[in-house]
Amino acid sequence: MPEAVAAAPQHELAAGALPKLELKNLFIGYTDRSGKTVSAVEDVSLTLANKPGVGELLVFLGPSGCGKSTILKAISGLMEPSAGQILIDGQPVSGTGRDRGMVFQSYTSFGWRTVLGNVEYGLELQGVPKAERARQAMEILEQVGLKDFAHALPKQLSGGMKQRVAIARTLVNKPRLVLMDEPFGALDPQTRWGMQSLILDVLRRQDNTVIFVTHDISEAVFLADVVFVLSHRPAKVLHRIEIPYFPERDPSLRQKPEFKQLENHLLDILGSLQVKGNIRVGL
């Protein structure tokens, strides 16, 4: 195991400081029409420190179907856990809230609204006046490189551009906690790398905390401050891996030995999961 990841300590919290996020003994199940329950998440506990002015990016990495989206839905308030607690800034989550924003696994723009109309949507719900919401939406569109497409319809955009609309639509509400469920899964590697840099850039500026789900090991190492590796369903936390601070997270980082070492370490962990599970998993 590389030295950088040998110890995986919990974050030291300053005395009295509330963690940004706490999952305490979380169990989540789905019940079908016949009343049969499938357990998706089992006894997941974790703590994510609050780092004001820095933000933090947590990655959930785990096999397909293990329960990653389910955990995100519970944090967003779209699903209620069967047992356990979710605390954000020390407050229990109950239902959805503007402090959290979710970017879903599939594109979720409104097809009949323009790009600008899509990004303005959340501000409209909040009753922000028209001129102000257009200003805020254009500011975010500029950050994600879509200013020139503000008046296009989603169907006129490429997959990467549509996903940038979804990201802008979430970020415009300035959520403290951004939940991203494999947002770049459908993109080609080059577009994906561009989007990863964009996310780091925008999110550091906004000082949000991000919870990011991916199957992609390189993406996890590139983006994360901390990676949680989950087991097959029902999801349990198998490893907490702190990613060392890389001052420059630019594309050349992927060639550095310490980056490759971390990738290999995660690959070993996920590889051992495949063997133990004795089934082919979509990593």
Ligand X SMILES: Nc1ncnc2c1ncn2[C@@H]1O[C@H](COP(=O)(O)OP(=O)(O)OP(=O)(O)O)[C@@H](O)[C@H]1O
Contacts with ligand X by CB under 6 A lie at 30, 38, 40, 62, 64-70, 105, 233
Size of the site for Mg ion (CB under 5 A): 1
Smallest separation (angstroms) from ligand X to the CB of 30? 3
Show contacts with Mg ion in window 49-108 (CB under 5 A).
69
Q: Which does 38 bind (CB under 5 to 8 A by kind): Mg ion, ligand X, none?
A: ligand X
Q: Residue 69 or 163: which CB sits closer to Mg ion?
A: 69
Q: Residue 134 or 238: which CB sits closer to ligand X?
A: 238
Q: Residue 38 or 83: which CB sits closer to ligand X?
A: 38
- Rounded to 5 degrees, what angle do the CA atoms 114, 115, 116 make? 90
Q: How far apart are CA 30 and CA 199, in angstroms?
A: 32
Smallest separation (angstroms) from Mg ion to the CB of 67? 8
Q: Which does 40 bind (CB under 5 to 8 A by kind): Mg ion, ligand X, none?
A: ligand X
Q: Which does 30 bind (CB under 5 to 8 A by kind): ligand X, Mg ion, none?
A: ligand X
Q: Residue 30 or 112: which CB sits closer to ligand X?
A: 30
Smallest separation (angstroms) from ligand X to the CB of 186? 12
Q: Residue 75 or 138: which CB sits closer to ligand X?
A: 75
φ, ψ of residue 167 to 5 degrees: the values are: -65, -45
Q: How far apart are CA 42 and CA 59, in angstroms?
A: 18
Smallest separation (angstroms) from Mg ion to the CB of 64? 7
Q: How far apart are CA 135 and CA 224, in angstroms?
A: 31
Smallest separation (angstroms) from ligand X to the CB of 272? 18
- How many of the other CB atoms lie within 10 Å of CB of 9? 7
Q: In Å, how far are 17, 163, 167 from 106, measured between CA atoms?
A: 36, 8, 12
Smallest separation (angstroms) from ligand X to the CB of 125? 26
Q: How far apart are CA 280 and CA 283, in angstroms?
A: 9
Q: Which does 233 bind (CB under 5 to 8 A by kind): ligand X, Mg ion, none?
A: ligand X
Task: Please list the residues that pair with 48 across neighbouring strands.
Answer: 21
Q: How far apart are CA 261 and CA 29, in angstroms?
A: 36
Q: Residue 152 or 281: which CB sits closer to ligand X?
A: 281
Q: How far apart are CA 66 and CA 252, in angstroms?
A: 32
Q: Which does 118 bind (CB under 5 to 8 A by kind): ligand X, Mg ion, none?
A: none
Q: Is 143 in the site for Mg ion (CB under 5 A)?
A: no
Q: Residue 84 or 145: which CB sits closer to ligand X?
A: 84
Binding residues (CB under 5 A) for Mg ion: these are: 69
